[in-house]
Structure 1
């Protein structure tokens, strides 16, 4: 009987951890950090996209700083670039949700790991993107945030992982930072918005956190 009680106690303890995480995440997601600047001169557009779980930031190529664009593979007829950040092992070994394994998920959420920037190129705007109007200063700050996320070699060049993209339209690059349950792909986007002075969540690991504030 004592063994059963002990097992039950530990089961409830470990069950409490994810429940607490989810509840706390939902509460912090609903708390809005307001825009730092006024809404005048919002003559630029950026976009958010999601695959249902993972957020990307999309910027027209003409509005991407030359330092960010330097070293990124692109063609003249590609007018938009999307930027996503995440765990290297998860990105490379989980191209679809059908490839998800417990081991890959556990390593991404709880172990310190290398990360990648995922850059996808588009010729035209897509209807499912969420448009966000920004001013020049906000756009500059977002460009700076993206630039500092990329890892560079001793020559200042971004480090591409050759032939690792999911298609001919995307590539992976080495990035700074470590992924965890406290800094997810979506919280990376949220931090970028917060540092750029845009409306954001206090903190969120979810894609719908930012989307709900702009839809």
Structure 2
């Protein structure tokens, strides 16, 4: 029984160690930020990371997807949009770490096909938001990858936490390997940005910027 308990306690430590190692191995090692281009932000609220992009830039117009009338108060629709992906119950019920329950955490770790896109309308990027410049081609690739995470068959808005954010049904399977922070890292990797090979935690994303 003691050995079984030790093994159970060892699992989260191994997970943390694997995440730290995976986040330290770079993809797109030779990437260099261009001197000119389109500025996006890689952002975190301490729990979830996301990508903050202009509502209109580089020939990409998000206003048809993230419509102002989808948020509780359309007056808060801004020049920037924060996109994040995650497991439905975890996203809806865990706006902060203080709200995390053991049941929600266990459900997310086991895995779920019920995922959401979370979109915040911002006047300006806020919090821990770090600027990154992309070439127009990189930005278009990033935008196409973000759009591909939406459920193309169901675009119905779901009320968010406050007056300026909203959820949408998403595609993809969420589990302990494919977390919200993994999603952020994979979008950046697909655009050609240098990022960790596996980024399950907020810190494993943000350390690159």
How many residue pairs get aligned? The number is: 202
Q: Which residue of 1 aligns with 2:28?
A: 34
Contact 2:43-2:127 at 8 Å conserved across structures: no
Deviation at 1:94, TM superposition (A): 2.2
Deviation at 1:34, TM superposition (A): 2.8
Question: Are the counterparts in 1 of residues 25 and 197 from structure 2 also a CA contact under 8 Å?
Answer: yes
- 1:37 is displaced (CA, Å) by 5.5
Aligned to 1:121: 121
Instruction: Give yes or no for contact 1:116–1:173 (8 Å, CA) kept in 2.
Output: yes
* TM-aligned CA distance change 1:137 to 1:174, over 3 Å: same
Q: Say if 1:116 and 1:18 are closer, same or farther in 2 by CA, change over 3 A.
A: same
Q: Shift of residue 159 of structure 1?
A: 2.5
Q: CA–CA distance in 2 between the matches of 1:128 and 1:41? A: 22
Residue 46 (str. 1) matches residue 40 (str. 2)? yes
Q: 2:192 pairs with 174, 186, 197, which one?
A: 197
Q: Aligned pair in 2 of structure 1 residues 78, 184: CA closer, same or farther (>3 Å)?
A: same
Give 1 or 2 for the bigger CA radius of gyration.
1
Q: Shift in Å at residue 40 of structure 1?
A: 4.3
Q: What do the CA deviations read for 1:98-132 (whole angstroms, capped 9, x no partner)?
A: 32110011001113240000000011243742000
> 2:151 — aligned with what?
151
Q: How far 1:35 moved relative to its partner?
A: 5.2
Contact persistence 2:157–2:167 (CA under 8 A): yes
Q: CA deviation digits over 1:158-211, x for unaligned, max 9?
A: 2211xx211110000000012110000000000001111111101111112222
CA distance in 2, matches of 1:39, 1:170: 30
Extract structure 1 runs of 4+ deviating beyond 6 A: none
Question: Who is 2:3 aligned against?
Answer: 9
Q: Does residue 183 of structure 2 align to residue 188 of structure 1?
A: yes
Contact 2:81-2:121 within 8 A present in 1 as well:
yes
3-state SS, counterpart of residue 208 of structure 2: helix
Give the match's secondary structure for 2:52.
Answer: strand
Separation of aligned partners in 1, 2:105 and 2:80: 30
